[in-house]
């Protein structure tokens, strides 16, 4: 069921049922973060491996201390600067964070999402003694992330219907790609997943060097197919010629559409590119296209997040 009243969402989550929640990045599949039954339902609904950790969504930077035992000063600055917003901090966990949430690690991921309805949900739950909502992206495992309530309905509607879950409709996600994940256990930020808050923004806010993980899981053999539609995703650079075979096309507006291709997105800016991307990938499947050609953006910042997701969508 699709609902628009945040207080209804509060009741569903407090009752240990699932509620998809809107955020500025993508929709999350929300559940009571301290209830094992609710957490188990998240993994079941998504078909997600049980050792994959979840992000805990919280109402404010102040509430972070419930989940993270110590946050370095630079990480606190990031929270102050960017929350509510598209950055997730991974810090040393408190005992509130269950093993099923952290994937048995000694860290927990937390984020204050920037969406008025979801902030109301989180604040109301907090006031009722429920300190957070776990929410992975509300798609079937490996599929394209959802940026509208309809996307969630298409992936998880049946499961939610059978388990009395709901979808809180807050309109389309404005950013369109998932949050930047920053490891906040050391002396400087390590970006685990690029996103809406760019490395440059993190460096400016903290005055520190921003690094990559020691063992980057980027080599193609280690890439999981993720964020992927059924259609085959084929990545192109500006200078590549678009193949003659049929399919869909995602590219900046300045790239014209060859007669044999279906235009799926024609963004003007990098922000529009991010906001339109997942809808366009899903549209390829709705249109029954076998292939999608994507002309990659090559700037830094948000473009990096887009290339990261598309690299995984194209991997199979
Ligand atoms: O924008 C977002 O982050 C969205 C919205 C709903 O908030 N959520 C999201 O969740 O993308 P999900 O589950 O699809 O991706 C979360 C990522 C996973 O790759 C997971 O491995 C990582 O966060 N993660 C969670 N806890 C972690 C931890 N303790 N250490 C390292 N990575 C962690
Ligand atoms: Mg996901």
* pLDDT score for 221: 38
Report whether pLDDT(110) > 90: yes
* pLDDT score for 239: 87
Neighbours of 105 (CB within 10 A): 14
Residue with tokens 């690299």: 311
Q: What is the mean pLDDT of the chain?
A: 95
Q: Which whole number is the average pLDDT over 300-312?
A: 94
* pLDDT score for 316: 66
* pLDDT score for 26: 98
Q: Which whole number is the average pLDDT over 6-32?
A: 98
The CATH topology of domain 2-206 is DHBP synthase (3.90.870)
Cβ–ligand 1 distance for 137 under 6 Å, the answer yes
3-state secondary structure of 285: helix
Report whether pLDDT(226) > 80: yes
Report whether pLDDT(305) > 50: yes
Report whether pLDDT(217) > 70: no
Residue 248 CA to ligand 1 centre (angstroms):
29
* pLDDT score for 225: 78
Cβ–ligand 1 distance for 136 under 6 Å, the answer yes
Cβ–ligand 1 distance for 53 under 6 Å, the answer yes
Residue 297 CA to ligand 1 centre (angstroms):
24
pLDDT digits (tens, 9 = 90+) for 131-162: 999 999 999 999 999 999 999 999 999 999 99
Which residue from 42, 55, 173 has its CB within 8 A of the most atoms of ligand 1, so it is best to mutate?
A: 55
pLDDT digits (tens, 9 = 90+) for 112-126: 999 999 999 999 999
Q: Which whole number is the average pLDDT over 94-123?
A: 98
Q: Which of 221, 222, 204 is nearest to 78 (CA)?
A: 204
Calculate the CA dihedral of residues 6, 11, 12, 13 and round it to 10 degrees. 90
Report whether pLDDT(314) > 70: yes
* pLDDT score for 222: 44
**What span, in angstroms and rounded, lies between the C-alpha atoms of 195 and 281?**
18
- Atom nearest to 28 CA in ligand 1: 6
Q: Which one has a higher pLDDT value, 245 or 220?
A: 245
Kindly list the domain boundaries of the chain, sorted by start residue: 2-206, 232-313
**What span, in angstroms and rounded, lies between the C-alpha atoms of 290 and 268?**
26
- Atom nearest to 196 CA in ligand 1: 1
CB of 206 within 8 A of CB of 186?
no
Residues 6+ apart with CB under 8 A from 65: 71, 94
* pLDDT score for 224: 67
Q: Which whole number is the average pLDDT over 188-201?
A: 94
Q: Which whole number is the average pLDDT over 41-67?
A: 97
3-state secondary structure of 168: strand
Could you tell me the CA-to-CA distances from 101 to 57, 110, 157, 234, 271 in Å, in that order? 12, 11, 23, 34, 31
Looking only at the bridges linking them, the beta strands covering 107-111 and 166-168 are unpaired
The pTM for the full model equals 0.96
Among 63-72, 208-217, 281-290, 293-302, the minimum mean pLDDT is found in 208-217
Q: Which whole number is the average pLDDT over 257-272?
A: 97
Report whether pLDDT(218) > 60: no
Q: Give 300's pLDDT tier (boundaries 50, 70, 90).
A: confident
Residue with tokens 């963004």: 267
Q: Which of 135, 103, 185 is nearest to 33 (CA)?
A: 135
């Amino acid at each position: 069921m699709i609902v628009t009243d945040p207080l209804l969402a509060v009741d569903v989550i407090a009752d240990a049922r699932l509620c998809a929640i809107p955020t500025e990045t993508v929709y999350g599949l929300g559940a009571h973060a301290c209830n094992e039954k609710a957490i188990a339902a998240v993994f079941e609904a998504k078909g997600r491996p049980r050792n994959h950790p979840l992000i805990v969504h919280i109402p404010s930077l102040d509430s972070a201390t419930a989940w993270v035992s110590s946050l370095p000063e630079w990480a606190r600055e990031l929270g102050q600067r960017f929350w509510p917003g598209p950055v997730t901090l991974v810090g040393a966990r408190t005992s509130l964070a269950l093993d099923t949430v952290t994937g048995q690690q000694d860290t927990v991921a937390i984020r204050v999402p920037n969406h008025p309805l979801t902030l109301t949900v989180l604040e109301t739950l907090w006031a009722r003694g429920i300190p957070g909502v776990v929410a992975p992206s509300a798609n079937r495992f490996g599929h394209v992330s959802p940026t509208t309530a309809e996307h969630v309905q298409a992936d998880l509607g049946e499961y939610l219907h059978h388990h009395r879950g709901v979808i809180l409709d807050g309109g389309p996600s404005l950013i369109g790609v998932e949050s930047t994940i920053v490891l906040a256990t050391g002396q400087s930020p390590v970006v685990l997943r690029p996103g809406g808050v760019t490395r440059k923004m993190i460096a400016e806010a903290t005055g520190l060097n921003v690094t990559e993980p020691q063992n980057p899981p980027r080599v193609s053999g280690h890439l999981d197919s993720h964020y992927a539609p059924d259609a085959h995703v084929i990545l192109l650079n500006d200078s590549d010629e678009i193949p003659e075979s049929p399919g869909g096309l995602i590219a900046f507006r300045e790239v014209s559409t060859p007669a044999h291709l279906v235009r799926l997105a024609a963004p003007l800016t990098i922000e529009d590119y991010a906001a339109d991307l997942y809808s366009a990938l899903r549209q390829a499947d709705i249109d029954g296209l076998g292939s999608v050609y994507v002309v990659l953006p090559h700037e830094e910042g948000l473009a990096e997040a887009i290339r990261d997701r598309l690299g995984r969508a194209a991997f199979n």
